[in-house]
Amino acid sequence: MFEPHFMNSRSQVLLDFGGTHTKSQTWTDGVLVNQEVCKSPQLTRGSRGEATINPKEFSSHILRVFGSAMRSASPFCEVAVSSQMACFVLVNADGIPSGEIVSWQDERCSQPDEHGVTTLQRVAIQLEQDGHVLWDGLRPGLPLCYLSELLKHEKSRAPLYLMSLAQFAILTLFPAIKPGQLRIHSSEAAATGLFDPISSCWSNSLISQLGLEVLIFPEVTNNFEVIDEEFKVYVPIGDFQAAIAGSSVETNELFIHIATGGQVARPVLRSTFKTEEQPGDDSPQVRPSADADQLIVTRTHLPAGRLLTSLSGLLGLSNEQQFWGFVDSALLRPCSVSAQFESENDFELSLNKLSPRGIEPEDIVTSIVQALHAVYIAKARQLGLSGVSRLVFSGGALTKLPIFMSQFEDHLGLKSTRRTIGEDTSLKGLANLIEASLH
């Protein structure tokens, strides 16, 4: 039984599905009454590059997490969900999956066929023929790259709906809601590769070329809005967009996030965004924002905490505090070795003015840390700093790297106004968006 004073309270249940962990928070009248962090269901990897999640395991997982969160909630409750990008599943009209949930880490489309051609290469050709622009880049795990193959093995003749991981969670938690009722936020629609965030339209011609017109693509909204009044459930959004909202990044601010992964980003007004130049391989990515009037210009998948942590074995430091202290101070040390990054975990070392003692592990780690910092400076400048007057820092790794942050300020000539480095910005973003929608 609820206490009488609790009956008039209002709660928010917030859920975020990350790559490795699921997080939940329950807030009642502005007070955190419950929170949980637990491991997400494991990926199953196949010999052809498959990376999938069992939908039954995911359903059991989310029902348990949500049940725990709801035990602390009042009867008047709003539910909001964010999740990692590009995890999708095909379901029938009753929300029953026709196969596995496919992760963004899926790489089956990179496998060559009997002619030595990959699906990824064929998709790239079709994109060019269609004139469809991928403002977020072409990557193997986009549904654009694997849906055709999934449909080859689909035996059902009934219509199938394309649902994101977060949408599938909503179907699991609220069985009365059917796939045909669910809208998809543009932040998740863009993660399919079949949606243009600039024009806010599905590419019907590309969908037809790829033989996907038999699928039902949800109605898209640019707004963070209630999708079911009875249950007060909000349209799910991407966790990247939720983190930007959680850090309250404005159009005159640059966002630098270093956690397990890393990115730099800045919001821009849709009305001022120029599309004269087509994006190239090294161009900034453009993503929808949780704010319908904005887009996010960003560079993601930058080297970050995952790489730094892997370097600890080179130094032989068992003390974590000592290791991170060494990493942070690397920016202030001279080094006879230089490193250059090609991608997140791919870098080249070149030797320069070696000392008589040769190369020590400390030299290698120092050079990699210095190169990593330089990547963020270069990518930040690539976004364009005209009109930017402040920095916003985010991400757990930065809690251990105060020199990193001060060096960003010095190199970019900007001061930080907020450091949301100790907060869960995705969940905070969901809470901020709910409050904004209510006013």
Give DSSP secondary structure letters for 139-204.
-TTSHHHHHHHHHHT----S-EEEEEHHHHHHHHH-TTS-GGG--EEHHHHGGGTSEETTTTEE-H
Residue 128 included in any domain = yes
Residues recorded for the chain? 439
Per-residue model confidence (pLDDT) at position 1: 29
Asked if residue 207 and residue 305 are part of one domain, the reply reads no
Asked if residue 345 and residue 275 are part of one domain, the reply reads yes
Asked if residue 278 and residue 201 are part of one domain, the reply reads no
CATH number (domain holding residue 72): 3.30.420.40
Asked if residue 379 and residue 338 are part of one domain, the reply reads yes
What SS3 state is found at 357? coil
First to last CA, the chain: 31
Asked if residue 326 and residue 286 are part of one domain, the reply reads yes
Mean pLDDT value of segment 5-22? 81
Q: Under a CB-based contact definition with an 8 Å cutoff, are residues 264 and 379 in contact?
A: yes
- What is the percentage of the chain residues whose pLDDT exceeds 90? 54
Asked if residue 183 and residue 269 are part of one domain, the reply reads no
Least confident of 44-53, 114-123, 142-151, 223-232: 223-232
235, 261, 287: which is the final residue of a domain?
Answer: 235
Asked if residue 212 and residue 90 are part of one domain, the reply reads yes
pLDDT category, 26, cuts 50, 70, 90? very high
Residue 276 included in any domain = yes
Q: Under a CB-based contact definition with an 8 Å cutoff, are residues 337 and 322 in contact?
A: no
171, 202, 235: which is the final residue of a domain?
Answer: 235
Asked if residue 177 and residue 255 are part of one domain, the reply reads no
Residue 17 included in any domain = yes
Residue 255 structural domain: 250-439
Asked if residue 347 and residue 267 are part of one domain, the reply reads yes
Q: Which residue has the higher pLDDT, 368 or 54?
A: 54
Residue 245 included in any domain = no
209, 235, 261: which is the final residue of a domain?
Answer: 235
pLDDT category, 348, cuts 50, 70, 90? low
Q: Which residue has the higher pLDDT, 251 or 310?
A: 251
Q: Nearest 5°: phi and psi at 330? A: -60, -30
Rounded to whole angstroms, the Cα distance separating 436 from 293 reads 14
Residue with tokens 């997080």: 23
Question: What is the residue-averaged pLDDT of the chain?
Answer: 87
Q: CA geometry: angle at 401 spanning 414 and 15, to 5°?
A: 90
Asked if residue 359 and residue 282 are part of one domain, the reply reads yes
Rounded to whole angstroms, the Cα distance separating 377 from 412 reads 7
Of 248, 266, 271, 307, nearest to 198 by C-alpha is: 271
Residue 437 included in any domain = yes
Rounded to whole angstroms, the Cα distance separating 344 from 307 reads 8
List the beta bridge partners of residue 286: 297
pLDDT digits (tens, 9 = 90+) for 180-202: 999 999 999 999 999 999 889 99
Total of domains in the chain: 2
Q: Which residue has the higher pLDDT, 223 or 154?
A: 223
Q: Under a CB-based contact definition with an 8 Å cutoff, are residues 215 and 160 in contact?
A: yes
pLDDT digits (tens, 9 = 90+) for 249-288: 999 999 999 887 889 999 999 988 876 555 555 678 999 9
pLDDT digits (tens, 9 = 90+) for 376-413: 999 999 998 989 999 999 888 888 899 999 999 999 99
